[in-house]
Amino acid sequence: MKLGRPRRRTPPETIIALIDVVFFLLIFFMLVGRMDASAPFDVLPPTAQSGADMPGGGVTVSVSADGALALEGGVMARVGVLKRLAERLDGAPDTLVRLNADRGAPLRHVLPLAAEIEALGAHEVVLVLTPGLP
């Protein structure tokens, strides 16, 4: 007679461990990521080492390498950008205005824009950089 060994029951995987891992991943990505409206065109910020940490909040104006402008993710003409910024800055001049310019963008598209935004009453206009060697 053949005696069959009793088959061991495989222990069920605990689903709790999976939930823990997913929770950790969720919190990690929430903390590490930055929820910004990304520009509709490619913008690669210039690299430099002398920048300071950038706080959250504020308005982002993106400038592409060929001078196209976008405000909070939407392509817009220069007049439109300045008009919308004037509305945002009216009553809240402390709003941080970030100029996210492509590293290849000519300065004639960036510096006059910064001056015009300052003329709208913005107290703080900053240029976005990525840390690293130029």
Partner 1 sequence: MRISRPTGPRAAISLVAMIDVLMILLVFFMVTSTYLDLDMVPLAGAEAPGGGAGGDAPVERVLVRLSADGGAFLRGQPLDPEVLRRELEREPALDILVLPSGQASVQALAGLMDVLVGAGAQRLRIVRLEAQP
Contact residues toward partner 1 (CB under 8 A) are 15-16, 18-19, 22-23, 25-26, 29-30, 32-36, 38, 45-54, 98-99, 101-108, 110-112, 114-115, 117-118, 122-131, 134
Nearest distance in Å: CB 24, partner 1: 10
Between CA 78 and CA 89, with CA 84 as vertex, the angle to 5 degrees is 120
Here the tokens at position 23 are 């929770």
Residue 91 Rama label (left phi>0; alpha psi -120 to 50; beta)? left
Nearest distance in Å: CB 109, partner 1: 8
> Of 8 and 108, which has the nearer Cβ to partner 1?
108
95 within 8 A of 89, measured Cβ to Cβ:
yes
Burial class (CB in 10 A: 0-12, 13-18, 19+), 36: middle
Provide the β-strand partners of residue 48. 131
> Of 76 and 105, which has the nearer Cβ to partner 1?
105
> Of 87 and 118, which has the nearer Cβ to partner 1?
118
Alpha carbons 64 and 58: distance in angstroms, whole number:
19
Nearest distance in Å: CB 86, partner 1: 15
Nearest distance in Å: CB 77, partner 1: 15
> Of 21 and 80, which has the nearer Cβ to partner 1?
21
